[in-house]
């Protein structure tokens, strides 16, 4: 009897520990209605960094916006959606070519999920040996899925040459991906593939396209602050001014 109790307690202990480990790798938070934010983690410049994505529950199934950055969480995410909501994942959209957005495209395609990127993203993915989607979008496109409507919009170059945003006009939800930084961000993050001179103009186009957003979802910061876009515009403006000053200074030395 004591042995049986010990075995049960041991199994419970392992189950609890495993649950805590799994939870630390994949976090799912309710946004509003049938919208959920999921967060996975990876290491950037020596620090554990969150990567936010989003999924939407529709009458036709679940729709995923960007894939997990942590490659061990592809299956746990799809399993969690099925277990938590009783929905199968049917569509997946990636908002630019970097791995924190596209890494799971091949996996989800293998699971029968229809995967999408823009034609421009596919070109950059191919050029940089990144994962590629099955279906390509040539122009700004509005999708109607299971009672919901959303638009994939390309505002111009910013974080990357191909970054797009997703706009839910009825719900006033702006999914900004890595183009928009959090309201607490001190800078615009990684700029190795950015267009510094156009970043501000691109964000202003987003602001005009998506007025009165109630929610602004960003990739690597707190997604609860609706001032993220305004703050990002200020950061981009400051960055552009500094860029112009440095270029002028370098020209004077020639």
pLDDT tens, residue by residue, 122-173: 999 999 999 999 999 999 999 999 999 999 999 999 999 999 999 999 999 9
Say what the pTM is.
0.86
CA 166-169-170 angle, to 5 degrees, is: 130
- Cα–Cα distance between 86 and 68 in angstroms, integer? 20
Give the pLDDT of residue 17.
Answer: 38
- Cα–Cα distance between 53 and 36 in angstroms, integer? 9
Can you tell me the mean pLDDT for 87-110?
A: 98
Identify the band that residue 24 occupies on the pLDDT scale cut at 50, 70 and 90.
confident
- Cα–Cα distance between 249 and 254 in angstroms, integer? 9
- Sheet order of strands, 135-137 included: 27-32, 35-44, 47-58, 61-65, 89-93, 114-118, 135-137
The answer to whether 78 touches 28, Cβ cutoff 8 Å, is no
Q: Kindly report the backbone phi and psi dihedral angles of residue 190, in degrees, each rounded to the nearest multiple of 5, phi listed first.
A: -65, 125
Can you tell me the mean pLDDT for 209-226?
A: 93
Candidate from 22-26, 99-103, 210-214 with smallest mean pLDDT:
22-26
- Cα–Cα distance between 200 and 236 in angstroms, integer? 5
Say how many C-beta atoms besides its own lie within 10 A of residue 243's C-beta. Answer: 14
The answer to whether 39 touches 24, Cβ cutoff 8 Å, is no
Can you tell me the mean pLDDT for 187-198?
A: 95
Topology (CATH) of 24-253: Metallo-beta-lactamase; Chain A (3.60.15)
Q: How far is CA 21 from CA 9, 24, 118, in A?
A: 18, 5, 35
Can you tell me the mean pLDDT for 87-112?
A: 98
Q: Among candidates 144, 62, 251, which has minimal Cα distance to 53? A: 62
3-class SS of residue 34 = coil
């Amino acid at each position: 009897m004591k042995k049986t109790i010990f075995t049960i307690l041991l199994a419970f202990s392992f189950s609890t520990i495993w649950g805590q480990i799994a939870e630390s790798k994949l976090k799912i938070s309710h946004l509003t209605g049938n919208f959920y934010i999921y967060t996975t983690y990876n290491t950037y410049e020596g620090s554990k960094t969150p990567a936010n994505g989003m999924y939407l529950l529709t009458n036709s199934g679940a729709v995923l916006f960007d894939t997990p950055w942590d490659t061990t969480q592809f299956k746990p995410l799809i399993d969690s959606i099925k277990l938590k909501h009783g929905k199968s994942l049917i569509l997946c959209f990636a908002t630019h070519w970097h791995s924190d957005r596209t890494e799971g495209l091949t996996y989800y395609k293998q699971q029968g999920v229809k995967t999408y990127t823009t034609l421009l993203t596919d070109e950059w993915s191919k050029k940089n040996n990144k994962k590629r989607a099955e279906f390509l979008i040539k122009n700004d496109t509005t999708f109607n899925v299971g009672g919901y409507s959303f638009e994939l919009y390309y505002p111009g170059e910013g974080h990357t040459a191909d970054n797009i945003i997703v706009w839910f006009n009825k719900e006033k939800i702006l999914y900004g991906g890595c183009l928009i930084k959090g309201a607490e961000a001190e800078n615009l993050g990684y700029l190795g593939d950015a267009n510094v001179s156009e970043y501000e103009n691109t964000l202003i186009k987003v602001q005009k396209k998506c007025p009165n957003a109630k929610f602004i979802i960003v990739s690597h910061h707190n997604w609860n602050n609706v001032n993220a876009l305004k703050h990002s515009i200020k950061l981009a403006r400051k960055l552009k001014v500094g860029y112009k000053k440095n270029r002028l200074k370098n020209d004077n030395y020639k």
